Amino acid sequence: MSLSFPTLSIPSWDSSTSRHISQCSSSLHVSAGSFQWVTKNSGAGAGLCRGFCGLKVWMIERFNLWQKKREFGPLKEFMTVKNQNLPDDSVEETKRLSKSEESLLHEHQADPFTNVVPSRSHSLNHETEGGRGPSLCIAVIGATGELARAKIFPALFALYYSGFLPEDVVIFGYSRKDLTDEDLRSLIASTLTCRIDHQQNCGDKMEAFLRKTYYLNGGYDNCVGMSKLNARMEQIEGGSKANRIFYLSVPQEALLDVASCLADNAQTHKGWNRIIVEKPFGFDALSSQQFTKSLLSKFEEKQLYRIDHLLGRNLIENLTVLRFSNLVFEPLWSRTYIRNIQIILSEDLHSQTRRYFEGYGIIRDIVHSHILQTIALLAMEPPISLDGEDIRNEKVKVLRSIRRLDPSDVILGQYKATSGDKVDVNLNNLTPTFFAAALYIDNARWDGVPFLIKTGLGLIKHRVEIRINFHNVPGNLYRKHLGHNIDLATNELILSDAPDEAILVKINNKIPGLGLQLDASELNLLYKDKYNAGVPDSYEHLLLDVIDGDNHLFMRSDELAAAWNILTPILQEIDKNHTTPELYEVGGRGPIGPYYLYAKHGVRWIDD
């Protein structure tokens, strides 16, 4: 009886290392690069001896190599959590290694079983744990402006403090002012605050964040400035793979030149590039089309993130969750059960902290983006997945189905301001600061349901809410107990963001006691009572979405075009001086026109 052993191959970790085992027969050859268990013209005992000796040596080699690798540390990579399937560029990275690193890698190559590779090191002024360059670079273009100081840098710090930015992130501030790194850090330090629900190691985190922040004076030639920014980024990245985000917080008139120079001179070839563009996205349909064409000549659509901070509110983020994860709502979400939908966004004097867009007005600034995007999310069909492109596909279908605005269904207003009011007093007489309208969606789900809009500045109360009114109960048995106005007793779903974030459901209920008396009551989910957590700023939501590659709250080019198509008729009427805004007092309730408009469409307006 004889024993034979089949050939056993083990993956290679060093093809140059091999040795003979003298304890067993010389016919046995053990290679660390390809361990083979072979018997050659020998009996069972000799073969068994050689086999186990070879296995023992192979295991010792692997253990010694593992100990050496521990000196270098594992490669720490930043991995995003949403839909990031980035290609493996380890081969290209190996080609960029210096000769000394190549020899080191040749000696201690990555273990194919553990996928551990030695970390790279460089002698630059920014090093991360393990000695390699950052995995994410964020450049704020227009870093000394009010938006950057008040919103962007605080949002970035909040994400860093909460653990949503990679620890090795690097942030660049870019503008035309002659500042140093320390000047920028001092400029933004006073605007940084720690989460009210955390407050742990706040000072240390703030100091660490500021150390990761650098400044570059780009000068007045944007292309030269972007080349300098790219050189600085490459110096700090040190040849490592790194992704880049560019936030273009610049005036509209400078945006295209900055974007063009960025595209040609500052994009990385070792990762993805994402560009954040602030609203307004054009002045009208034609200018928006030209603006989009210019951007798409330099970037791919998937790189562009057109940001509207109002879409980062939790109310908007929660719309799809409320609709598609609750059986109690989804079957009712159509003209069969819903009578009308009201969308309200009013700002008081305290919430108006910036000068208003001269000539742009509330239609181009708020209605075109925020209001129409809210309607699209409310009214869209269920997407096939939560992927951003799938959601955008459904949104654009809604926008293309919205009927073009009839000027008779629109009310415009403008506040009467004095120098003592905290608003822009230099508006021309055609710039609207108040907008009310009735929109209709011409599709099977929403045919005949009015979507009623009211948005304005300088009003009595800061209010952001969506009110979904349901039809009356057919043949209601309790009609005589509901009082004279049965419309007041209809069911209603109220999604509120301001003054308090809440979800309310209005129902009819029996008042406890003898007899039968009905009352319209509210089931109230008040967020501040239910959830013991601070509400993140909308910029935090949206910046995290950009990092994660989630673009469902950012307008795509076809969404832009569809939105302009809806608003073009009323904008043309304004430009032709055919429509004059109705004046209203700052701090008041706005024009009286909306009350008549909504009565025209059979809707009782719910006042403040």
Q: Which amino acid is at 523?
A: L
Written as six digits, the tokens of 74 are 């594992």
Task: Give the separation between CA 477 and CA 161, rounded to whole angstroms.
Answer: 57
Task: Give the separation between CA 54 and CA 49, rounded to whole angstroms.
Answer: 9
Task: Tell me whether residue 436 is exposed, middle or buried, using C-beta atoms within 10 angstroms of its C-beta: 0 to 12, 13 to 18, 19 or more.
Answer: buried
Report the C-alpha dihedral over residues 77, 78, 84, 89, rounded to 10 degrees. -30
Is 477 in a helix, a strand, or coil?
coil
Cβ atoms of 296 and 558 within 8 Å: the answer is no
Cβ atoms of 139 and 527 within 8 Å: the answer is no
106 is catalytic: no
Q: What are the DSSP calls for 508-561, one per residue?
A: EEEPSSSS--EEEEEEEEEHHHH--SPPPPHHHHHHHHHHHT--TTS--HHHHH
CA distances to 291, 306, 404, 455 from 569, rounded to whole Å, are 20, 24, 7, 19
Task: Give the separation between CA 168 and CA 182, rounded to whole angstroms.
Answer: 19
Which residue among 370, 471, 541, 552 is the active-site one?
370
Query: Roughly what angle, to the nearest 10 degrees, separates helices 557-575 and 285-296?
Result: 150
Task: Give the separation between CA 46 and CA 21, rounded to whole angstroms.
Answer: 13
Q: Which helix (H) or strand (E) holds 177?
A: none
Strand 410-416 relative to strand 582-585: parallel, antiparallel, unpaired? Answer: parallel
Cα angle value 332/336/341 (rounded, 5°): 70
Q: Which residues carry out catalysis?
A: 370
